């Protein structure tokens, strides 16, 4: 009799997570850059194309000398926005680099604080694209490219977000 009671006790469920199947499922997904707690907007696209017709300043070509290049000032690379419920997210650390330093000019790569709606920060750059002579007084932009890497850490005291993104910068050949 004792053996039968012991066998029944072992076979009976204790109710403590012994089920291996459930009738409901769950899915975990990563939020898109625009919907994340620290959202990212790419005003010029995730691949920025610098075309000479949109340059801020043309090149200086010295007769029988080199051409200075096409210039692009204050190009917005990425804008960060606070999508937390507290709206208290601040950028604590930011690191910006480019793998092709020949494309950088002027104030180079920099971040600026923003207070425009939920925008809290932006990364901008001043770029130059190479040019070659095409006749005595004319020039054409030539192809070049680089990748800007942005690493950022933001927090509101309760939530901390760290992320790294790459943005391709391309000088479009005419």
Domains of the chain, by residue range, sit at: 33-171
The per-residue pLDDT string of the chain (174 residues; one tens digit each, 9 = 90 and over) reads 545 544 444 454 444 444 455 556 666 667 787 778 999 999 999 999 999 989 886 655 555 556 678 899 999 999 999 999 889 999 999 999 999 999 998 779 999 999 888 999 999 999 999 988 777 767 888 999 999 999 999 999 998 999 999 999 999 998
Q: Which two tokens stand for residue 22?
A: 């459930």
pTM score over 0.75: yes
Spatial distance between the Cα atoms of 105 and 68, rounded to a whole number of angstroms: 11
**Contact predicate 154/38, CB 8 Å:** yes
Q: Chain centroid to CA 90: how far?
A: 17
């Amino acid at each position: 009799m004792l053996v039968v009671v012991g066998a029944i006790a072992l076979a009976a469920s204790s109710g403590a997570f012994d089920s291996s199947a459930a009738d409901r499922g769950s899915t975990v997904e990563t939020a898109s850059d625009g919907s994340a707690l620290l959202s990212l907007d790419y005003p010029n696209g995730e691949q920025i194309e610098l075309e000479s017709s949109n340059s801020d300043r043309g090149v200086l070509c010295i007769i029988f000398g080199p051409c200075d290049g096409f210039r692009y000032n204050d190009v917005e690379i990425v804008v960060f926005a606070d999508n937390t419920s507290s709206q208290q997210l601040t950028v604590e650390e930011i690191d910006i680099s480019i793998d092709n330093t020949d494309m950088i000019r002027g104030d180079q790569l920099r971040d600026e604080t923003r207070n425009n709606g939920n925008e809290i920060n932006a990364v901008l750059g001043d770029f130059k694209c190479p040019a070659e002579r095409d006749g005595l007084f004319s020039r054409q932009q030539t192809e070049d490219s680089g990748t800007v890497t942005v690493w950022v850490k933001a927090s509101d005291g309760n939530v901390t977000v760290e992320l790294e993104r790459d943005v391709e910068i391309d000088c479009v050949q005419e």
